[in-house]
Structure 1
Amino acid sequence: MALAANAALSMNNWRTNMSEHPVVLITGALTGIGRAAAFAFAHEHARVVVSGRRAEEGEQLAAELRALGSEAEFVQADVRLEDSVRELVDRTVARFGRLDVAVNSAGTEGESGPVTELTPERYAAVFDTNVLGTVLSMKHEMRVMLAQRSGSIVNISSTMGSRGAPNVSLYVASKHAVEGLTRSAAIEGAASGVRVNAVAPGPVETAMLQRLTGNEERKAVFLASVPLKRAGTPEEIADAIVFVASGKASFFTGEILRVNGGKTAS
């Protein structure tokens, strides 16, 4: 029986169950890593629901995914609002009948500055998206996955989820929180066959990196501290997300996969 099960898992390739076209929900899908993940899953023949706050961009993304042959839908949602998240998950299940993979990619770096300049408003601007948004997303994704007794959730952390950095303390703290939430939810979901992990990118060629570094000179100095001497691409991070979500990582839960060019090795 064990050999048969292992053979079935091997034939299953990246998928989390035996569905031919798994259902994947991605929050924060309109830019950067979330957008790259949408294309990566579409190339793997998944049925993809992409979500974000900007309807026009979302519908355009869904159209691009459908042009690749993927069944794709856009659902407008704000991860800071529970009713919005609940509707997002419910509409996904209503459309496709299940939820196999969820990628919680919605995030913001917030406004930079020293601890002495922090305000409750700055705190809320970061934590409402990065932490509350992850909490609400997992709450409703797990509601479905626990009932179907299968599923894989991938949260997006950061290299800063395991270390400190000056002038971005709220972002750093929020990603530490995401990693703690990931580990705790993984323990809760394990008995029901629900895996919860996180991918923690280092510097990636996105608009966020441009905002954080400010200009090309500062960006070059920052990237010089990366052992591979470059930023990652959104597509490289998306490949890691697909792997973590897949059946190839079936014994992988409560873990943080750090994809950062060696940044945390030095």
Structure 2
Amino acid sequence: MSTSLAGTAALVTGGGSGIGLACARRLAADGAIVTLCGRTEERLARAAKEISTKEIGAIDIGARNIEVRHIVADVTDEEQIAAAVAFAAEPAPLRAVVHSAGGSTSIGPIGGLDTDAWRATLELNATGTMLTLKHAANQMARTGGGAFVAISSIASSNTHRWFGAYGVSKAAVDHLVALAADELGGAGIRVNGIRPGLVRTELVGGIAEPGPILDDYLACMPLGRVGEPEDIAAAARFLAGPDSSWMTGQVINVDGGHHLRRGPDLRAMFEPMFGAGALDGVPEVPGPEAP
């Protein structure tokens, strides 16, 4: 590993597990003082200890000191994320932010979507990205620039039927990447994104387990395997570091080539939940009430 981020600070939202944790490992191994941000104190503390004690898998960091900090913050709360950005910038100039926090509570056919779940998902993925970028950009602009990497999803570009607000909110993230890159280049701030495909994390649940849904995912991937968090972390490290210094406004697919084909067929998972008719856009018609 190089020391290309030595003497700088980095912030990783959603850094307590999965893709965020893998990204934090890579940035720490590259020399950055990393701050993990998330909503669960116990998970963040465990992740910070794992990295700082050099239990970081196959990454060779030699005798280098690793410094990892953490702060509890909800990315949809502007005061909390502003405080997290300021905390991350305390030990050194903030040069890299990987925004991995996200998720969804919105699933099902459009005709029956829960409006509150739709709004909550847009708030988490789209507004959460905006708030993190807003405060990170202000911080970076005062200290010479930096790189912001947004974790999007293949669902932003390839339709994932019955995914509700998730793909829509991630499409908003992609556009925000382009908009911010265009606006912030003059301040020396680069903004790029990554669209992961199916990555083996706790969030995908049984999708990555053997069965018809996984078979369909793999049939859509030229490289034919499930991704690992480290696959995304390698791309994030590249986009956050000096090797990509003339890149901005890009959203890179890291998905085994899945974007070349089509979104997955998730009928086997959703039909028992919502019914075949609803999945085909035909809402159930209630029968007449008994006299």
TM-score (ref. length: structure 2): 0.82
- Partner Cα separation in structure 1 for residue 32 and residue 151 of structure 2: 20
- 49, 52, 55: which one aligns with 2:41: 55
- Partner Cα separation in structure 1 for residue 233 and residue 27 of structure 2: 9
- Partner Cα separation in structure 2 for residue 155 and residue 51 of structure 1: 14
Deviation digits for residues 34-75 of structure 1 (CA, Å, limit 9, x no counterpart):
011111112212110001111011111111221123111010
Query: Is residue 87 of structure 1 aligned with residue 73 of structure 2?
Result: no
Identity %: 32
Pairwise CA distance, 1:119? 2.3
- Partner Cα separation in structure 1 for residue 6 and residue 131 of structure 2: 28
Deviation digits for residues 2-44 of structure 1 (CA, Å, limit 9, x no counterpart):
xxxxxxxxxxx674xxx63321100001121001111111221
- 7, 27, 47: which one aligns with 2:13: 27
Letter in 1 for 2:82: R
Alpha carbons of structure 1 residues 71 and 14: separation in structure 2 relative to 1, 3 Å: closer
Letter in 2 for 1:70: I
- 105, 108, 112: which one aligns with 2:103: 108
Preserved CA contact (<8 Å) 1:47 1:72? yes
Give 2:153's aligned residue: 158
**Relative contact order, CA 8 A, sep 6+: which one is greater?**
1
Query: Is residue 76 of structure 1 aligned with residue 72 of structure 2?
Result: yes
Runs of 4+ in 1 over 6 A off after TM superposition: none
Q: Report which stretch shifted further, 221-230 or 193-202.
A: 221-230
User: What RMSD over aligned residues (CA atoms) do the two structures have, in Å?
Assistant: 1.6
- Partner Cα separation in structure 2 for residue 190 and residue 257 of structure 1: 19
Query: Is residue 172 of structure 1 aligned with residue 167 of structure 2?
Result: yes
Give 1:263's aligned residue: 258
- 202, 210, 216: which one aligns with 1:216: 210
Structure 1 unmatched runs, 5+: 1-12
TM-score (ref. length: structure 1): 0.89
Deviation digits for residues 233-261 of structure 1 (CA, Å, limit 9, x no counterpart):
10011000000111110110011111111
Give 1:186's aligned residue: 181
Higher helix share: 1
- Partner Cα separation in structure 2 for residue 227 and residue 97 of structure 1: 42
Deviation digits for residues 151-192 of structure 1 (CA, Å, limit 9, x no counterpart):
000001111121212101311101100000010011111011
Letter in 2 for 1:31: S
Pairwise CA distance, 1:92? 1.5
Query: Is residue 235 of structure 1 aligned with residue 226 of structure 2?
Result: no
Structure 2 unmatched runs, 5+: 55-64, 262-291
Aligned residues: 249
Query: Is residue 207 of structure 1 aligned with residue 193 of structure 2?
Result: no
